[in-house]
Amino acid sequence: MAFEIQVSPLFDFEKVRLIDAETGVAIEITTKGALMNSWQVKHQTKTLNLIDGNDFGNGWSQFEQHGFKGAKMAPFACRLEDGQFEQDGKKYNIDKFYLDKHAIHGIVYDALYTIQSTQADEHGAYVVLKYAYVGSDKGYPFHFNLQIKWHLQKNNKVSVETLLTNHAETTIPMMDGWHPYFTMGGLINECSLVFKSKGKVIFNDQLLPTGQIMEDFSFNSPTKIGTTILDNCFLLDPSSHECIVENEQFKLIVQGGLNYPYLQLYIPPDRKSIAIENLSGAPNSFNNKMGLLIMKPHENLVFKTSYQVLIKL
Give the pLDDT of residue 42. 86
H/E segment holding residue 285: helix 285-288
- The answer for residues whose C-beta is within 8 angstroms of residue 90's C-beta and 6 or more apart is none
Q: How many domains does the chain have?
A: 1
- Would you place residue 151 in the very low, low, confident or very high pLDDT band (cuts 50, 70, 90)? very high
Q: Is pLDDT above 80 for 201?
A: yes
Q: Which domain holds residue 251?
A: 3-311
Give the pLDDT of residue 1. 64
| Mean pLDDT along residues 196-200 | 96
Give the pLDDT of residue 313. 66
| Closest to 237 measured CA to CA, from 221, 225, 226, 250 | 221
Give the pLDDT of residue 72. 98
Whole-number Å distance between alpha carbons of 129 and 144: 14
Average per-residue pLDDT for the chain: 96
- Would you place residue 203 in the very low, low, confident or very high pLDDT band (cuts 50, 70, 90)? very high
For 205-215, the pLDDT digits (tens) are 999 999 999 99
pLDDT above 90 coverage of the chain, percent: 94
DSSP string, 115-173: EEEEEE-SSEEEEEEEEEE-S-STT----EEEEEEEEEETTTEEEEEEEEEE-SSS-EE
Q: Is the separation of the CB atoms in 3 and 18 below 8 Å?
A: yes
For 52-72, the pLDDT digits (tens) are 999 998 889 899 999 999 999
Give the pLDDT of residue 312. 85
Give the pLDDT of residue 88. 92
β-bridge pairing 181-182 and 46-49: unpaired
| Mean pLDDT along residues 222-240 | 96
pLDDT above 70 coverage of the chain, percent: 99
Q: Is pLDDT above 90 for 192?
A: yes
| Mean pLDDT along residues 76-87 | 96
Q: Is pLDDT above 70 for 293?
A: yes
Residue 26: CATH number of its domain: 2.70.98.10
What count of residues does the chain have? 313
Q: Is pLDDT above 90 for 287?
A: yes
Give the pLDDT of residue 256. 92
Strands (DSSP E) contained in 204-292 are: 209-214, 223-224, 231-236, 242-246, 250-256, 262-266, 274-279
Give the pLDDT of residue 270. 96
Three-state secondary structure call for residue 4: strand
Q: Which residues pair with 302 in a beta bridge?
A: 163
| Closest to 52 measured CA to CA, from 35, 77, 31, 76 | 35
Give the pLDDT of residue 46. 86
Give the pLDDT of residue 43. 79
